[in-house]
Amino acid sequence: MTIFIIVIFTIIFHYLGFLKDIENFFWGILAPASSYIYDISLTEGEEKITKPFRNLDDLKTSYVELYYEVEQVPVLEAKMQELKDQNEELRKQLKFQNENAYKYVNGTIIGKTTETVGNTVIIDIGSVHGVKEGNPVFVGEGVFIGKISRVENERSIVRLLNDSQSKVAATVQNGERSIGVVEGGYGISINMNLIPQNEKIAVGDVIITSGLEENIPRGLIIGMIESTEKEPYKPFQKAVLRSAVKLDNIHLISVITEI
Amino acid sequence: MRLLRNIIFFLIGIIGLTLANISFSYILPFPFQTMNFPFVSFVLIILWRESGIVVWFAFFSYFLIELFVDIPFGILLFSSTFAILFTFWLYQNVFTNKSWYAAMILGAVSIFLFRTLYVGFLIFAMLFGQVDPSWSNILTNILWELVLTTGIIGIIYPFIIPFSHKKKMYIQ
C-alpha cells in the first residue's frame, strides 16, 4: 500500500513540476554518459592496424612504446574525422542561418528514446534556450527532420519525420506547387498525402515545407519523391518520400525558435 | 556510516542500471536491444538477495529511465514497480522451487505483467490522443523481450544460485 501511494504521488508531483530539481540533477549526471554512448552507437567499427615487427631484443622497449602509439592512430583518425564532419555540418548550418532571418538555437542529439512507441530523439536544448513545443528542427542547409514534441528545462524531445504521429504541411517543387501533408509511417516510411488527384507529381520531385503551418517557415527541404500512388476513384493521390538525410545518423541539429 | 554506504551503493546501482539499459538500447542490434536488462537484474536480485528492497530499486531505476522515454510520465514507473512487487510476492508464495525453470517462469511472468500493464496504460493514453503507437512493432518487440529476457535469466541463474540466501540455509 505504501509503495502504491508513493508511486501515485511521484506521478502527481511530476506533473505539478515539484520534481524538476531532482530530475534535472539526475539528468545532469546521465546526459553526458548518454551522449557518449550515442556517439559510440553512431561510430562505425575501425579497422585494426597490423602490428609492426622488430626482431632486436634491445629495441624491445622502443618497440612496445611505438606499438602502443601506433595503436592510437585509428582512434585519433576517427576523432579527427568526427570533428571534420561536425565542422562541415556546422558550416552548412551557419550558411543557412546567415541566409535566413529566423532565430535559431543549435544543439546536439544526446540519445534516442528507449521505448519503441515512436521515432524520437533527445536533444540537449530546452525551454531555457527558447525552445517551444512545435518548433521545427533541421540539419545542414535547411533539411527538416522533425518537430519538438516535448520540452523540459534543458532538454527536448524531437519527433522525427518518420514517426507515426508526425505531420507537416508540405509543397512539391513541381510546376503546380502541389500541396499536401507529409506524415510518418511508423518509423519505416515517410508519405505525402492529400495531394490533389489532378496535379502532376513525379519521382525525384523535391518536397519542401509549405509555410502554411504556424512556426514552420516555407522552404525547409523534407525529401524527394520515391514513388507515387494514384487510384482513379480516390480524390487525392499519395507519394512515398525518401528523407534528404539518414534520420538514424544525425548528431548536430538546429531549432528555429522564431520566424 | 553503514547507512551512508548503502545509500551510495544504491545510487550507483540505479544510475548504473539506467546507463546499462541505455547502452543496450543504443548499441545492440535488433532483436538483442529488446532484452530488458533492468528486469533481468531485478529478477536475479530477488532470487539472490530475497529482499523487498528490489521493489524500491525498480521504482528508483524506472524513475530515471522515464527521463529517456517519450511516453507520458508514469506509465513505465507504475507498470515496472507493480510488476516487480507482484514478482516478489510470487517468489515468496508460489515459485518457491529453486530450479532454473522456476526462475525462468518467474522472469517470464514478471515481463508479461509489466508489459500487460504498460499496454493497458498505452491504450488509455491513446484514447486521450497522447500517443499513436505502432501495435505490430510493440507486440513484436514484447515477444522478443519476453524470449530474450527469460533466456538470459535462465543462463545467469545457475551461476548465482550457490550464493542465494535460501540455498545457503538449505546447506546449513
DSSP string computed for B52-100: THHHHHHHHHHHHHGGG--SPTTHHHHHHHHHHHHHHHHHHHT----SH
Give the torsion sign (CA, A246, A249, A252, A258): positive
Which chain A positions have a beta carbon within 8 Å of B120's beta carbon?
none
B131 contacts A117? CB cut-off 8 A? yes
Contact A168, A223 (CB under 8 A): no
* pLDDT score for B137: 81
Task: Tell me the domain boundaries of chain B.
Answer: 2-163
List of chain A residues with pLDDT < 70: 43-59, 116, 186-187
CA distance B170 to chain A (A): 32
φ, ψ of residue B35 to 5 degrees: the values are -60, 135
pLDDT bin (cut points 50, 70, 90) of residue B165 is low
Contacts of B34 in chain A (CB under 8 A): 116
Give the residue-averaged pLDDT of B117-123. 93
Which residue in A18, A30, A115 has the most chain B C-beta atoms within 10 A of its own C-beta, making it the best mutation to test that interface?
A115
CA dist., res. A83 & res. B75, Å (int): 39
Query: Hey, what's the cell of A252?
Result: 548536430
Instruction: Kindly list the residues from chain B whose CB atom is less than 8 angstroms away from the CB atom of residue A14.
Output: 73-74
Q: Which of A82-86, B26-30, B67-71, B137-141 has the lowest mean pLDDT?
A: A82-86
pLDDT the model gives residue B145: 93
Q: What is the pLDDT of residue B120?
A: 94
CB of B70 within 8 A of CB of A117?
Answer: yes
Chain A residues with CB inside 8 Å of B68's CB? 30, 34, 111, 113-114, 122
Whether chain A has a CB inside 8 Å of the CB on B112: the answer is: no
**B33 Cβ under 8 Å from any chain A Cβ:** no
The verdict on B129 touching A (C-beta cutoff 8 Å) is no
Q: What pLDDT is stored for residue A101 in this prediction? A: 73
Residue A167 in grid coordinates: 505531420
Q: Do B133 and A15 touch (CB under 8 A)?
A: no
Q: What is the mean pLDDT of residues B2-30?
A: 89
| Minimum distance, in Å, between the CA of residue B18 and any CA atom of chain A | 8
- Give percent of chain A above pLDDT 90: 14
Give residue B112's Cα distance to chain centre: 11
CB B33 within 8 A of CB B25: yes
Alpha-carbon distance of B63 to B68, in angstroms, equals 10
pLDDT of residue B102: 87
Contacts of B25 in chain A (CB under 8 A): 112, 114
* Assigned C-alpha cell, A169: 504541411
Whether A26 sits inside 8 A of B27 (CB atoms) is no
What rounded mean pLDDT belongs to chain B? 87
Q: What pLDDT does residue B76 have?
A: 93
* Predicted interface score ipTM higher than 0.90: no
pLDDT at A49: 41
Residue B70: the pLDDT is 84
Q: Using CA atoms, how far apart are residues B31 and B156, in angstroms rounded to an integer?
A: 19
Unique residue bearing C-alpha cell 518536397: A207
CB A255 within 8 A of CB A133: no
**pLDDT value, residue B171:** 46
Residues of B within 8 A of A117 (CB-CB) are 69-71, 122, 131, 133, 138
What is the rounded CA–CA span in Å between residue A142 and residue A220? 5
Q: What is the pLDDT of residue A55?
A: 63
| Residue B74: closest C-alpha in chain A | A11
